[in-house]
Amino acid sequence: MDVKTLATIAGVTLESVIDCEAVKGGHVLRIDLKKEPALHRLIKARSTMEAQLPDGDVFDVNCVLDGSPHAFTVESMDKYRTYGWVDGSDEGRVPAWRLRAQVYPPHSAYGASIEYIGLLVFDRHTGTVYDLSQPNDHMQRPSMSYVLGYLSGADILKFIIGYANAGNLEVNHDFESENQMRLTGAFADVRVNMPNCHEHLEQAPDREFVVQLPSGFYNLTGSL
C-alpha cells in the first residue's frame, strides 16, 4: 500500500506524513501535527470536553480488545468528503467518504492520545455486503481500520494502524438532497490483527493482539 493511500485511510494529508513503516499486521505513520492543526487542536482539547456527536448522528459498536470487553464510546465523528481518488478507469476521480469514530483519554485504549475506527467508502460501494477477508488492492470494497495514536513530543503524532481482515460490512450512502447524504452502515464479526504497540504505548501488551467488533452500525448525516 502506498503512502498516499495510507494517508487517505488515516485521514491526514500526504504532506503531513513524515515517514511510514510497514509492521506485521499494519503500518506506523509519523505525522507532523504542525501540518494538521485541526487534528492537533482536537487532541489537545478533548481532555476537557464532554463527548458529543452532532445531532442525529449515531455510531454504536461492541468492541472486544485483546479478549476483554472494551467500552468504545464515540466522542467525536470526523466525516470528510473526498474527490481526490483516481482509480485509473474511465470513471476518473471517484467520490468517497472518509469516516472516523474517535475516542480520547481517559477513555481511549492503553492511554492512547486518540483511538478510532476508520472507514473509507466510495459512493460506488453503496448497497452491497462486503466480505472484509477478501483482498482490497484496488479498493474494490470499503476499507475498515482500527487505529491507536499517541503524541511523540509536542508536534508529532504516531498512528498505529491495523486493518480489518475478517467480518462483513454493508454500507448504504444515499443522496437525501443536493447538499446532503444519509450515511448508514452495519458490520458484524469484524477482526483486526494489531501489531505489537508496546514500545509506543507502555500499557499495551508486549505482543501482537486482536481487536474484535462483534456488531456495530452507524447512521450519519453527510453534508456536501
Query: Mind listing the pLDDT tens digit for each residue in 86-118?
Result: 665 555 678 999 999 999 998 999 989 999 999
* Nearest-10 Cα torsion for 82, 186, 126, 183: -50
- Supply the DSSP string of 83-131, one letter for each residue: EEEE-SSTT-EEEEEEEEEEE-TTTSGGG-SEEEEEEEEEGGGTTEEEE
Q: Give the pLDDT of residue 137.
A: 76
Band of the pLDDT at 4, cuts 50, 70, 90? Answer: confident
- Mean pLDDT of the region 53-72: 92
Residue ranges making up the domain that contains 122: 3-223
- Judged by average pLDDT, the poorest of 24-33, 49-58, 131-140, 152-161 is 49-58
> Residue 54 pLDDT more than 80?
no
Does residue 157 contact residue 29 with C-beta atoms inside 8 Å? no
Band of the pLDDT at 41, cuts 50, 70, 90? Answer: confident
- Mean pLDDT of the region 118-123: 94
State which amino acid sits at residue 33. L
Q: What mean pLDDT is reported for the chain? A: 89
Q: Looking at per-residue confidence, does 164 or 224 come out higher?
A: 164
What is the tens place of the pLDDT at every residue in 143-198? 999 999 998 888 899 999 999 999 999 999 999 999 999 999 999 999 999 998 88
Pairing of strands 68-70, 17-23: unpaired
Alpha carbons 52 and 67: distance in angstroms, whole number: 28
Does residue 119 contact residue 144 with C-beta atoms inside 8 Å? yes
What is the tens place of the pLDDT at every residue in 185-219? 999 999 999 998 888 888 888 999 999 999 999 99
Q: Give the pLDDT of residue 25.
A: 78
- Mean pLDDT of the region 30-38: 93
> Residue 51 pLDDT more than 70?
no
Q: Is the dihedral of CA 183, 64, 74, 159 positive or negative?
A: negative
Q: How many domains does the chain have?
A: 1
Alpha carbons 104 and 73: distance in angstroms, whole number: 10
Q: Give the pLDDT of residue 38.
A: 87
> Residue 46 pLDDT more than 70?
no
